[in-house]
Amino acid sequence: NAGVTQTPKFRVLKTGQSMTLLCAQDMNHEYMYWYRQDPGMGLRLIHYSVGEGTTAKGEVPDGYNVSRLKKQNFLLGLESAAPSQTSVYFCASSYVSDSPLHFGNGTRLTVT
């Protein structure tokens, strides 16, 4: 079972470059989330979606955009990368709002 798949696994960007992180889930989950993980800060929610075609801001949305055109995919975009966006990014999904989260294996992004 694939579960939640994130691509790419690693990426290095220069300041000002753009990129898109892809998250795909095959569990027919309604809810999808993007988190970033930084040392000593746990996980912080960037954006989330409660269903196809919907998105909403989380705790740290600035500098990121998202889209959920298909139920199984949730894309995270960085239009103009900054060094402060160096982090490990995790996608997660859940069946309903209070059911456990299923996480991907993460994308390690470095912005120089």
Partner 1 sequence: GDSVTQMEGPVTLSEEAFLTINCTYTATGYPSLFWYVQYPGEGLQLLLKATKADDKGSNKGFEATYRKETTSFHLEKGSVQVSDSAVYFCALGLGTGNQFYFGTGTSLTVIP
- Between residues 47 and 111, which has the closer beta carbon with respect to partner 1? 47
Residue pointed to by tokens 């949730």: 74
- Between residues 27 and 56, which has the closer beta carbon with respect to partner 1? 56
- Between residues 14 and 42, which has the closer beta carbon with respect to partner 1? 42
- Between residues 22 and 43, which has the closer beta carbon with respect to partner 1? 43
Integer CA distances (angstroms), 48 to 41, 44, 51, 61, 112, in order: 19, 11, 9, 10, 27
Binding stretches for partner 1 (CB under 8 A)? 4, 31, 33, 40-43, 45, 48, 50, 56, 58, 90, 92, 97-98, 100-106
Smallest separation, CB 80 to partner 1 (Å): 25
Contacts made by residues 7-11, CB under 8 angstroms, sequence distance 24+: 7/107, 8/107, 9/105, 9/106, 9/107, 9/108, 10/107, 10/108, 10/109, 11/107, 11/108, 11/109, 11/110
Smallest separation, CB 48 to partner 1 (Å): 5
Smallest separation, CB 46 to partner 1 (Å): 11
